[in-house]
Amino acid sequence: MESPFKNHSSVVMYLEPYLNSFTKNYQNIITLSDMPNGPLSNMVTTISSPKLSPFQFLNNGNNPNNCIFVLLRYPKTVCGGGNGSLKNSDFFMGADDIPSIFGYLRTNGYSIDTEITKMMNKSRVLIGGVSDARFSGDRKMICMFSYNS
């Protein structure tokens, strides 16, 4: 039986620490809870997230490679073509890109759910934080959004 919650119509956007194994630096990148519907999906790919610390251990049978959805600065179709490379620290979208991302979402048929985002940010239930199911640090929820198809 398939879960009735597997619709993925709403996506959560996070700001999350990531260890870039090429540059050997930590950076805060924009990650998503799921692959979004609509044109934004052309800017999203999955990457395997390395441990942030040698002391991290997960019991994660559902995601053994610790894959996460990340928002790219360059379309994923050019990753092998030359405009973007995981070796560049500016390949991933980060905190400075949030206003541009919001503008993109609004002009490309997405709705940012400000009511639920506000409610969850004020709630005692933390959406984000340190996860038991993935190698993330203290990820912060930015917003929830959905595509108006």
Neighbours of 135 (CB within 10 A): 21
Let me know the angle formed at the C-alpha of 56 by 29 and 63, rounded to the nearest 5 degrees. Answer: 70
Q: What is the pLDDT of residue 48?
A: 77
Whole-angstrom Cα distance, residue 47 to residue 30? 12
What's the confidence (pLDDT) of residue 82? 43
pLDDT of amino acid 37: 93
Nearest to 92 by CA among 70, 67, 77, 68: 70
pLDDT tens, 63-102? Answer: 445 688 999 987 654 344 444 455 555 788 999 999 999 9
Give the model's pLDDT for residue 109.
96
**Low-confidence residues in the chain, pLDDT < 70:** 1, 3-8, 50-66, 75-89, 124-137
